[in-house]
Amino acid sequence: MNRWLFWQKDWFVGLLVALVFFLGANSDLMQSLERKAYDLGVLASSRTPSDKIAVIAIDEQSIANLGRWPWPRAIHAKMLDVLAAGHAKVIGYTAFFFEPQVDAGLDYIYKIAELLGNSKLKDTTDPAQQAELAQLSALLQEAAQNLDNDQKLSESIAKANDVLLAMFFELGEPQGKPDQELPDYVLRNNLTNVKDASGSGEMPLSSLSVLPPIPALGSKALAIGHLNSFPDVDGAIRTEPLVVGYYNQYYPSLSLMLAAKSLNLEPKDIHVNLGEGVQLGNQKIATDPALRMHTYFYKDKDGRPAFPVDSFYDVLSGKIPAEKYRDKIVLIGASATGIGSLQVTPISSGMAPVVTLAHSVSSILKGDFFVTPSWAEWAQIGVFLLVALYLILLLPRLNAAIGALVTGALFTVLLVAHFVLMMTQAMWLQLMLPAALLLVGHLLLTTKRFLMTEKGKQRSDAESAESNRMLGLAFQGQGQLDIAFDKFRKVRVDDSLMEVLYNLGLDFERKRQFNKAESVFKYMAEYNPKFRDLAARQAQSKAMSETVMLGGSSGKSNASTMVLDKAGVSKPMLGRYEIEKELGKGAMGVVYLGKDPKIGRVVAIKTMALAQEFEADELEDVKSRFFREAETAGRLNHPNIVTMYDAGEEHDLAYIAMEFLKGKDLAPYTKPDNLLPLPKVMNIIARVADALDYAHKQNVVHRDIKPANIMYDPETDTPKVTDFGIARITDSSKTKTGMVLGTPSFMSPEQLAGKKIEGASDLFSLGVSLYQMACGKLPFEGDSMAQLMFRIANEPHTDILSIRADLPACLVAIINRSLAKQVEDRYANGAEMADALRQCAASI
C-alpha cells in the first residue's frame, strides 16, 4: 500500500484552497460576486415607496417646447411660482446654479446706463430734457429688471420659501486649510450634533472644495444639501453618502435635507454618530462606517414607475394642475438625453439622477434602507471558517454521492440565507465568498480524487473486462443471451469482441428475437459500421422488429418474436390463431385479423398488455378477473352482441378472439355534419337496447356503452355491441387507466360516485349515445374533467332542442328519461326503452 506525502492528502488541498480564497476576499472578482448577489437580493425583495414624493422631469418634450438647455432662469422661477400656488411641501432642485446667468442684452443695458450717467445731459436745466432723461432712466431700469433672470429666480425662491438647492463637493483628503470661509447661507446647513461614541475613528467621505449655489439664489433657499454620488468600482450606484466632511464641518446630502424639511426638522435635529449612522429626529438610519446608506430601490409595479414622473412642460403649461403636488416632496431634475449622465442602479441600467434621489428620500422616510449589522463581519468570518473546515475535515471522508449532496445542501443554505435576510430583514451579509469557496473547493477535491484514482481504476477495469468476457461466453453457451449481452457491454469493444457480438446477434436471430438482434447490431455499429454485412443485418432486424407482437423472452416456442408478411418466416401465432394483419390500435392494445387454421374461421383478436397496465401486486388478480369476465361475456348469444370465441394469454399479453365484423363503429356518425337519419338512429339504438336487456337478464353489465363500442355494418344494417366485460377489467386499476377508458362523458352519476353498477347505468350511457347521435353534441360538457364530472352528477343536461329544434317531442322525452339522475326515474329495462323508441319512430 502506497503512503502518500501530506501534500497529496485531500485535507491539504482543502486547506490550500481556503487560504487562497481568504487572501483574495477583497479581490475585484469576489467583490463583483458580492455586488451581483446584492443586486439580485434587491430585485427579489419588495417594498412600497413613499406616496409623498413626486418627480418633475426635464425631458425631451420639455426641451422641444421650451428650447435648448440651459433655460433662462425665469422659466425655473415660473415653475416655482406654479408649485408654490399648488402648496407643495418642499421642492428639491437637482440643477446646479454655480454661476450667474448673464443675459447679453442686460450687459448692454448696464453700459447704456453708465454712458448716460457720465454724459452732460444729466446737467441740463431744460425741463423738457430733464423729463426725457428721467423717462429714459426708468425705461433702462425696467429693462434691467426684466433681463435679470437670477433676480427673478431669487424672488421666486424667496416667495416659495420651500426650495432646497444642491451643492457639489470635490472629494479628497485635505492637506491644509480652506482657501476661504464658506458663505453664511452654506454654513447654516452645517451639522453640529456630531459624536464619535464608539471611538472607532471612522469618518465620512472628506472633500477638498465645494461649489455652492450663487449667493443670489443660495441665500434665499430653505436649505442646501450636497448632490455627490459615490458609485462602486463597477460604476453602479448602490449607496447614498448622507454626510460629507469639509475641514471639520459636516454637510448633509440633499436627500437627507429634503427628508428633514418635509418633517419640519432643522440641521440641529440631525444627529451624526461617526462610524455608525445618522439619526433624523426619532428615525435611526443605519449606514456603513463612511455614513453611506444602502439605498433601497423600489421596482416598478404593473407597468407604472415607483414614483410618478411628470413632464416639466406639462406642469408649467397647466396641463397637469399644480394642486396635484399639494403637501408633496417635489423633485425637479433632468431626464432628457444629453443633459447629465444616467446612473446604473440594481434595478436599472440607466436611471435619471433625479429618480435616484427619489429612491433615496423614500428609503430615509420609510426606513427601507439595507443594513449591514455590527456583527456581520464576525458572522461572515464564522461562515467562511465552517466551510473551510468542511472542505478540510469532512468532505475528504465522504463518498462522491454523499459529498455532492452535502455540498449542494450547504450551497443552497447560503443562497437562501442571503436572499431571505435581504427580502425579510433588509439585512445584507456577504456570503458569496464562502459560497464560492464551497463550490470551487468541492470541484478541486473531486477532480483530484479522480486523477489520483484513475490509474488504479484503469488496471481494475482491465481485469474486470476479461472476467466479464469469459462470463458472457459462458452464458451465451447456456442460451442465456440477454445476460451474455449485459456482460459483453461491460467489455471495451475491439475487433475480437466484434466477432463475439456478431455471433450473439446471429443467436438472437435464430431464436427469432429480432428486436434484440437489432440492439446488438446497433451497438456494434457504434464501433465499426462496416464490419462484415453488419449494415444489411441491422436493416433486416430493424424491419422485422417493427412488426413484433411480443418480445419472446421465455423458452416457449409460441412466445418467440413474431413477424408479419416476411418471406421465409412463418406467420406469428397467438394461441391457436394465425395473425394475418393489424386492424387497428385501441386504448388498451392492438387489434389483429386472425384465423383459426383448424376450422378456417376468421376472427378479430383484441390484445391487452396487462403487465403494462397493472402493478405487479395486482396482476394475478386482474388476470383471473379477465378470464372470468371473458367467460361470462362468452356465454352471451344475441344477434346484436359480438360473439366471443376464445380468450388466452401469451407472455402477459391477454387476448380475446371474437367475431370479425365488417363496417365500423358509430363514432363517425356522432359528428354534426355526418349524422344518420333519425329513424335509423332510433332503430339502431332500439336494437342495442334489446341487446343490453338480454345481457342484463344474464347478469352481465357492459359498463362502457358509447358509440365507439357499437359496430355497425351499413350493408346489412346490423349493429353489434362489443367489449363486454373489458370495462370491468380496467375498472380495477386506479394506477394506470383511471376510472374507465377515456373521459367520463358517457358515465352515469352512480358510476362516477363509485356505487354498485347495474343495468340502469348502461341505459344512461345509451341515452348519452342517443343524444349525441341525434344532434352531434354531448349532453354534458366541461372545461376540465372535474367540471364535467360535477355536471353529470349534479346538473341537468343541455336541452337538446336548444341544439336541434326539429326533434320530435317523443324522442326528446326518451332522451330526458334515460338521462335522469336517479335510477328509479329511468327506464326499468332495455326492452322498455326499445319499445319507446320503436313507438316514437313509428309516429314520425
Residues with catalytic annotation? Answer: 704
Q: Are 529 and 535 in contact (CB under 8 A)?
A: yes
Query: What three-state secondary structure class fits 333?
Result: strand
Task: Tell me the three cell numbers of residue 538.
Answer: 441491422
> Which residue reads 487562497 in cell numbers?
20
Q: Are 513 and 488 in contact (CB under 8 A)?
A: no
Task: Tell me the three cell numbers of residue 592.
Answer: 389483429
The distance of Cα 566 from the centroid of its chain, to the nearest Å, equals 52
> How many CB atoms neighbour CB 746 within 10 A?
28
Residue 548's φ and ψ, nearest 5 degrees, are -65, 135
Give the single-character DSSP code of 665. E
Q: Are 823 and 753 in contact (CB under 8 A)?
A: no
Q: Are 605 and 549 in contact (CB under 8 A)?
A: no
Q: Are 727 and 741 in contact (CB under 8 A)?
A: yes
The distance of Cα 87 from the centroid of its chain, to the nearest Å, equals 46
**What single-letter amino acid sits at 745?**
S
Contact partners, residue 110, CB within 8 Å, separation at least 6? 144
CA 227 to each of CA 43, 248, 480, 514, 806: distance values in angstroms, whole numbers, following the listed order: 25, 19, 85, 82, 82
Instruction: Please state, in angstroms and rounded to a whole number, the distance separating the CA atoms of residues 367 and 370.
Output: 9
Instruction: Please state, in angstroms and rounded to a whole number, the distance separating the CA atoms of residues 83 and 77.
Output: 10
Residues facing residue 343 across a β-bridge? 351
CA neighbor of 296 nearest in space, from 376, 342, 361, 236: 361
| Separate counts of helices (H) and strands (E) for the chain | 28, 26
Residues facing residue 647 across a β-bridge? 656
Strands, E assignment, 598-724: 601-609, 644-650, 653-659, 664-665, 710-713, 718-721
Instruction: Please state, in angstroms and rounded to a whole number, the distance separating the CA atoms of residues 516 and 526.
Output: 16
Task: Tell me the three cell numbers of residue 785.
Answer: 374533467
Task: Tell me the three cell numbers of residue 273.
Answer: 454618530
Query: What three-state secondary structure class fits 115?
Result: helix
The pairing of strands 710-713 and 277-280 is: unpaired
Give the single-character DSSP code of 340. S
The pairing of strands 90-93 and 163-171 is: parallel
